[in-house]
A and B are shown apart, each in its own frame.
Chain A
Amino acid sequence: MAFLTVQDLTKKYKNKTAVNNVSFEFKSGQCIALIGPNGAGKTTILRTLAGLLKPTTGSIEFANEKGNSDIRKFIGYLPQYPVFHYWMTGREFLVYSGELALLPKSEAKKRAESLLEKIGISKEARDERISRYSGGMKQRLGIAQAIIHKPKLLILDEPVSSLDPIGRREVLQLMEELKQEMSILFSTHILTDADEISDELLLLRQGEIVESGSMEELRIKYQTAKIEIEFERDIEAFAKKINDLPEVTASNIERNTLHVTASDIQLARQRILEAASNENWPLTSFNINRASLEDMFMKVVKD
C-alpha cells in the first residue's frame, strides 16, 4: 500500500522545465534515494514534496488524507544548506522547531533533550549558540529539527555531501537508525551512500526519472559483466578458441589478461570452464567483473 503517491509532477520556471512528469510511489517504511547529476531536478522535487514549492501540474497525495489538509505536519525536511537562527542555542532551536510543529512546550522540551542525546551533541554544546557549531554538528542538528515532530516522511537534500568522512559516517548511521521509524527520501550524487541505505533508487536526468528500482534489480539490468581470464602461457591461442564460442561477442588481450564480453554471461562462463577443464587449460585466474555502480550511473545518466 503506497502511503505517498506522486503523480505526473511537473515544475516549470519561466522558460525552463526543472521537473518533467515525475511519478513514483512510496511505501510505508521505505527509503528511497534520488540520484542524478547536479541540475537534474533533485532539489526541486524535494522542495515540492516539502511544500516549499507549488507544482506547476501534477499531484502529491498522502494516503488517508484529504486533498487540502496541511501535509507539512507529516513531513520533516532538511535542506542542502540548512541555515539556522544562529543567535539561538542548539537546545533553543530544537524546542522552537518542536513548538512550530505544534508540540506542546513540555513535549517539545523532552523531545529536544532526547534528540540532542541521540545525535550526540555534548552537554556543554547544547547551550552554546549555533554559530559556534561545526559543520557536522549543524547537519546533525538539522536532522534533529526535521524529526522533532516524528514525521512520517523525512526528506533530506544531500545530507552527507558537504561533510568530512567522519561526519558522513555519523549521519549515515543516524539515517540507518531512523529508517526503522519513518520513511526517508533523500537525494545524493554519491552512489555508494545510496547503495548503503536505500531500498530503492530513482535516477534522474534533466528532470525526468530515467530509471528506477532496487539496487539489485538495476545491477542485473545493467550488468555488462566481463570475464577476465589469465593464462600461464599461449594466451593468443586460447583467445582465439574463446572468441569462436557463439556467446562471446568480443575479446581482447590487455597484457596477460583476456577480457571477454558475452551476450549471455552465464552460458559463456559455463562453456569456457568446461573447455578449460576438458582440455586442461593453464588458467591462473578466472574472474567475473560486475559493472560498478559508477558504470551504471554513467550509462543511465549520460546518454
Chain B
Amino acid sequence: MTLFKKELLENWRNKKWIWVPLVIILLSIMDPITSYYLPQIIDSVGGLPEGSTLEMPEFAPPEVIMMSLSQLSSLGVLVLVLMSMGTIAGERKSGVTELILVKPVAYRNYITAKWVSLLMLVWISLFLGLLTSWYYINLLFGDLSFVELLQITFFYGLWLTLVVSLSIFYNALIKTPGLVAFLTILTIMVMSLINQVFNHVLEWFPNNLSSYILDMLMTDQLSTDLIATACVTMILSIALVVASIYTFRVKD
C-alpha cells in the first residue's frame, strides 16, 4: 500500500496524470474529427479540380469509434510503452531500488504496486479518451449508446492491460529502459504477425479483441468469441505479472 501510494504520488509529481490522459484524448478524437471535416479541409487547401467529385463515405458511429481504437492501437500503445519503460528498469538502473529492497518489502508488492498504479492511469486515460470521442461521435455522426461506450472501454482496456503487463515483465527482466520499450513493441509486433499467419487456428488471440469489438457493435450482441478472447487476455496479463514477480525474485 505504501508502495502504491508512492507510485501515485510520483506519477502525479512527474505530471503523468496530466499528459497521458491528454495524449490519449487527443489520439482518440483526432480521426473522428478529421474525417468529419475532411471536405472542409480539402476546400480550404484549394479544393478539388473542377469536375471531379469526391464521394465522401458515410461513416457509421461504430466505424468511427474503431478509428479511435486503431489510433490508440498504434500511437497509443507506443506512448504507453514509452511511459512505462522505466518504471522498474529505471529505478534499478539508478540504484534507488537498493534503498527500497533492503527494507522488508515483498517483491510481490513492489511489482503489483507498479502494475496497478499504471493500470489505473491507463484505464482512466482510456475512459476519458473514449468518452471525448463518444461525445463527438454523437454530435457529428450519430448515436452510440453509453452502454456501448462502457463495453468498448472495458474490452479494449484489457488489450492495453496486456500491453502494460508485457512492459512490466520486461522491466523486471532487464535493467535498460530503452531495451524494455524495444522488446515490448517487438513482442506486440510478433504477436500481430502470429495472429495474421495463424488466424484460422488462434481464434481467441488477444490481438483479435478490436475486431470482435467491431462485431459486437455491428451485431449488437456479445459473442462468445469476444468473451473468450477477453478471458485469454486477462489470463495472459496475470500470468505475465506472476512471471515478473518470479523473475524479479530470482535475479541475483
Contacts and interface: CB of A to CB of B under 8 A. Distances in A.
Interface in B71-120: 94-96, 98-105
A122 B98 CA distance: 26
A83 B94 contact: yes
Interface of A: 50-54, 70, 72-73, 75-77, 79, 81-85, 87, 96-97, 99-102, 142, 145, 149
B102 A87 contact: no
Interface of B: 2-3, 6, 10, 13-14, 94-96, 98-105, 252
Given A97-B103, A102-B104, A77 B96 contact: no
Contacts of A51: 101-102
Nearest to A51: B102
Given A52-B98, A84-B96, A101 B104 contact: yes
Of the listed residues A79, A83, A149, the one surrounded by the most CB atoms of chain B closer than 10 A to its CB is A83
A50 B104 CA distance: 11
Contacts of B94: 83
Given A83-B94, A87-B13, A54 B252 contact: yes
A83 B95 CA distance: 6
Contacts of A77: 98-99, 102
B13 A100 contact: no
A100 B3 CA distance: 8
B104 A70 contact: yes
A75 B102 contact: yes
Given A82-B99, A83-B94, A72 B252 contact: no
Given A53-B252, A54-B252, A99-B2, A72 B98 contact: no
Nearest to B13: A87
A78 to B, nearest CB: 8
B10 A83 contact: no
A57 to B, nearest CB: 15
B2 to A, nearest CB: 4
Contacts of A72: 102-105
Given A72-B104, A77-B98, 12 more contacts: A52-B98, A52-B102, A54-B252, A73-B104, A79-B99, A82-B95, A82-B99, A83-B98, A84-B96, A100-B2, A100-B103, A100-B104
B99 A83 contact: yes
23 contacts: A51-B102, A52-B98, A52-B102, A52-B252, A72-B103, A75-B102, A77-B102, A79-B98, A79-B99, A82-B99, A83-B95, A83-B96, A84-B96, A85-B96, A87-B10, A96-B2, A97-B103, A99-B2, A100-B103, A100-B105, A101-B104, A102-B104, A145-B99
